[in-house]
């Protein structure tokens, strides 16, 4: 079996400590059969926090009840996702990396809302791994966080993920171990609403990604360097790292890593994905930032973007020229195709790297050149404040029952990133009780932006009263803050972390912990 020989194993990051009180065999039985441990209020014994009886574990009665209460369609979607080392064709350039089913991006998973999604994960990697279903308010024991919601899957092992698809929208999946996110292991997860009245003719998923594996340093090498040297002489920006401005809302420091390439749907700008359509077709683009250390400014030459969804949830449509996606964020936009050949660009925000490119073609003509910068990039830029949640998904007005502060800081020159002064290893859980309305203030006290992601929930940015846009990932600008509010309606143990893969792994993670 290729790649399972430990001698060629390229480790993708330290496995976080996992203790287990149950034998591995027993855990696999639980995972495979989907058996609920009757009356075992503490959930899976031995998985981190779930051991503490005051905490509501991933398989506790309350977590199970939340899953039971979800509306079911009765249909079942079955898939196997096989993670293995492989070679990605980036467009004439080949990268040895890790892939789902040999493809980059991994083949999309698509289901209708309410479907029972059953995915067998086969781990043929030379490292332990899991799959996380980014953005879904799913059952806690299927969330894919090692040491918190499950034990990670050993090389050669399998895990059966099974959950009800809770809300329609654009989601994605990726591993949640080490910095495996920065390999080719990702794919789109699209949940459709069969009753939705489609205001578009065609649909297209665009996945943006910063790429180094197999063409530059491996993610593990980068992680090792950042952990040893911090940001050191990276980019030589030192004290010039700047505050956000209107033109640069995420500040002047785009990240810790300079990537040799940026990709759209797995292709380098020298051999871009070309989308053929016809003039006047309305195309729904589902744009996903699967990058590990890069925010993208997205635009299409000659087109305005009508934003219809943010992180899967509908908004009152807004027309803009360009928008920024932090790592983990998604936007759905509708365009009306023009007549000609148009560049679809994703420019790394506050980085000097060459932009990612795809091509929209509705007529003959020359393809756009690598590095093209359409004027739309300088046009109206989407802000969170421009977005209002659609009435159907508004967080109702109300007073918070609990307020939590999360201070985001850098430590040791970027060798560690902290939440409330602690790394994940020493984190203090953020306790909430089921049913509470929770307000969280994310306060960035560092000079880098952090795309903060909460598992298992969709929050209202700026609170509910103003109809704040519903999201699961929100950029917190350097020295700035964001207020988010949510209803604690999905009992369990949920990771909260920076979606910069390196920041998260260098400590910037904690847990929203439901307690009794």
Residues lying near ligand C2O in the complex (CB under 6 A) are found at 132, 134, 174, 176, 328, 453, 455, 495, 497, 499
Q: How far is the CB of 144 from ligand C2O (least distance, A)?
A: 8
Residue nearer to ligand C2O on the CB measure, 134 or 394: 134
247 contact partners, CB below 8 Å, separation of at least 6: none
Partner from Cu ion, ligand C2O, none contacting 503, C-beta within 5 to 8 A by type: Cu ion
Over the window 437 to 466, marking each residue x when it contacts Cu ion by CB under 5 A and - when it does not, the resulting string is -------------x----------------
Partner from ligand C2O, Cu ion, none contacting 450, C-beta within 5 to 8 A by type: Cu ion
Q: How far apart are CA 170 and CA 285, in angstroms?
A: 10
Q: How far apart are CA 485 and CA 488, in angstroms?
A: 9
Q: How far is the CB of 226 from Cu ion (least distance, A)?
A: 12
Closest to 265 (Cα-Cα) out of 211, 194, 339? 211
Which secondary structure element, helix H or strand E, spans residue 31, and what is its range?
helix 24-33
Residue nearer to ligand C2O on the CB measure, 13 or 272: 13
Partner from ligand C2O, Cu ion, none contacting 176, C-beta within 5 to 8 A by type: ligand C2O
Partner from Cu ion, ligand C2O, none contacting 394, C-beta within 5 to 8 A by type: none
Partner from ligand C2O, Cu ion, none contacting 310, C-beta within 5 to 8 A by type: none
Q: How far is the CB of 449 from ligand C2O (least distance, A)?
A: 16
| Bridge partners for 406 per DSSP | 442
Show the tokens assigned to 111: 């289901």
Partner from Cu ion, ligand C2O, none contacting 328, C-beta within 5 to 8 A by type: ligand C2O
Residue nearer to Cu ion on the CB measure, 273 or 444: 444
Q: How far is the CB of 410 from Cu ion (least distance, A)?
A: 9
CB 136 within 8 A of CB 165: yes
Closest to 368 (Cα-Cα) out of 294, 292, 300, 283? 300
Q: How far is the CB of 480 from ligand C2O (least distance, A)?
A: 22
Q: How far is the CB of 433 from ligand C2O (least distance, A)?
A: 23
Indicate the length of the chain as a whole number.
516
**CA distance to 45, 310, 399, 432, per residue, from 403 (Å):** 29, 24, 10, 10
Closest to 336 (Cα-Cα) out of 281, 276, 274, 275? 281
Contact with Cu ion (CB under 5 A): which of 289, 458, 500, 510?
500
Residue whose Cβ sits closest to ligand C2O: 134
Partner from Cu ion, ligand C2O, none contacting 174, C-beta within 5 to 8 A by type: ligand C2O
Show the tokens assigned to 296: 């993208």
**Strand order across the 330-336 sheet:** 261-264, 202-211, 282-289, 330-336, 305-310, 313-320
Tokens 């009152």 label which residue?
Answer: 316
Cα-Cα-Cα-Cα dihedral sign, residues 126, 129, 135, 137: positive
Contact with Cu ion (CB under 5 A): which of 502, 503, 507, 512?
503
Tokens 């940026």 label which residue?
Answer: 262
Partner from ligand C2O, Cu ion, none contacting 500, C-beta within 5 to 8 A by type: Cu ion
Residue nearer to Cu ion on the CB measure, 180 or 500: 500
Show the tokens assigned to 13: 């990051």
Q: How far is the CB of 158 from ligand C2O (least distance, A)?
A: 21
Q: How far is the CB of 451 from Cu ion (least distance, A)?
A: 7
Supply the DSSP symbol for 366.
P
Partner from Cu ion, ligand C2O, none contacting 132, C-beta within 5 to 8 A by type: ligand C2O
**CA distance to 25, 78, 100, 102, 142, per residue, from 31 (Å):** 10, 16, 21, 25, 9
Contact with Cu ion (CB under 5 A): which of 498, 501, 509, 511?
498
Q: How far apart are CA 36 and CA 233, in angstroms?
A: 51
Residue 410, phi then psi, degrees to nearest 5: -100, 145
Residue nearer to ligand C2O on the CB measure, 290 or 341: 290
Q: How far is the CB of 470 from Cu ion (least distance, A)?
A: 22
Show the tokens assigned to 72: 């079911």
Residue nearer to ligand C2O on the CB measure, 208 or 495: 495
Q: How far apart are CA 170 and CA 110, in angstroms?
A: 10
Residue nearer to ligand C2O on the CB measure, 487 or 499: 499
Q: How far is the CB of 339 from ligand C2O (least distance, A)?
A: 38
Query: For Cu ion, how many residues bind (rule: CB under 5 A)?
Result: 4
Which secondary structure element, helix H or strand E, spans residue 30, and what is its range?
helix 24-33
Residue ranges in contact with Cu ion by CB under 5 A: 450, 498, 500, 503
């Amino acid at each position: 079996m290729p790649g399972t020989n430990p001698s060629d194993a390229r480790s993708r990051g330290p496995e976080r400590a996992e203790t287990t009180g149950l034998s591995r065999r027993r855990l696999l039985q639980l995972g495979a059969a989907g058996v609920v441990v009757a009356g075992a209020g503490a959930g899976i014994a031995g998985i981190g926090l779930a051991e503490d009886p005051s905490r509501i574990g991933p398989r506790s009665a309350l977590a199970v009840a939340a899953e039971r209460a979800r509306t079911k369609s009765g249909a079942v979607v079955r898939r196997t996702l096989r993670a293995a080392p492989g070679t990605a064709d980036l467009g004439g350039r080949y990268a040895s990396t890790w892939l789902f089913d040999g493809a980059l991006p991994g083949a999309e998973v698509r289901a209708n809302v309410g479907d029972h999604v059953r995915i067998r994960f086969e781990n043929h990697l030379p490292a332990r791994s899991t799959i996380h279903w980014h953005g879904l308010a799913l059952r806690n024991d299927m969330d894919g966080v090692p040491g918190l919601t499950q034990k990670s899957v050993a090389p050669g092992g399998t895990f059966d993920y099974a959950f009800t698809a809770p809300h329609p929208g654009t989601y994605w999946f990726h591993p949640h171990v080490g910095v495996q996110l920065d390999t080719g292991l990702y794919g789109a997860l699209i949940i459709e609403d069969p009753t939705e009245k489609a205001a578009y003719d065609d649909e297209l998923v665009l996945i943006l990604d910063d790429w180094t594996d197999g063409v530059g340093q491996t993610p593990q090498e980068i992680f090792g360097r950042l952990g040893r040297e911090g940001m050191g002489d990276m980019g030589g920006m030192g004290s010039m790292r700047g505050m956000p401005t209107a033109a640069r809302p995420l500040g002047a420091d785009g990240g810790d890593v300079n990537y040799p390439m940026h990709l759209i749907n797995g292709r380098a700008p020298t051999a871009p994905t070309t989308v053929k359509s016809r003039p006047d077709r309305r195309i729904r683009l589902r744009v996903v930032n699967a990058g590990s250390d890069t925010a993208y400014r997205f635009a299409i030459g000659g087109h305005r973007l009508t934003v219809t969804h943010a992180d899967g949830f509908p908004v009152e449509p807004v027309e803009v020229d360009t928008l920024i996606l932090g790592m983990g964020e998604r936007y759905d936009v509708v365009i009306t195709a023009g007549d000609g050949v148009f560049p679809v660009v994703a420019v790394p925000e506050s980085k000097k790297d060459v932009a990612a490119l795809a091509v929209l073609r509705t007529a003959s003509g020359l393809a756009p050149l690598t590095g093209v910068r359409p004027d739309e990039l300088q046009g109206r830029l989407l802000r969170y404040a421009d977005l209002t949640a659609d009435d159907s998904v508004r967080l109702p007005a109300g007073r918070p029952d609990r307020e939590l502060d999360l201070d985001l800081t850098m430590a040791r020159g970027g060798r560690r990133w902290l939440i409330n002064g602690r790394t994940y290893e020493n984190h203090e859980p953020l306790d909430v009780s089921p049913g509470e309305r929770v307000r969280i203030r994310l306060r960035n006290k560092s000079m880098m932006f952090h795309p903060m992601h909460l598992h298992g929930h969709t929050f209202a940015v700026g609170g509910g009263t103003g109809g704040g846009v519903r999201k699961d990932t929100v950029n917190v600008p350097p020295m700035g803050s964001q207020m988010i509010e949510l209803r604690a309606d999905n009992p369990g143990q949920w990771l909260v972390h920076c979606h910069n893969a390196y920041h998260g792994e260098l400590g910037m993670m904690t847990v929203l912990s439901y307690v009794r």
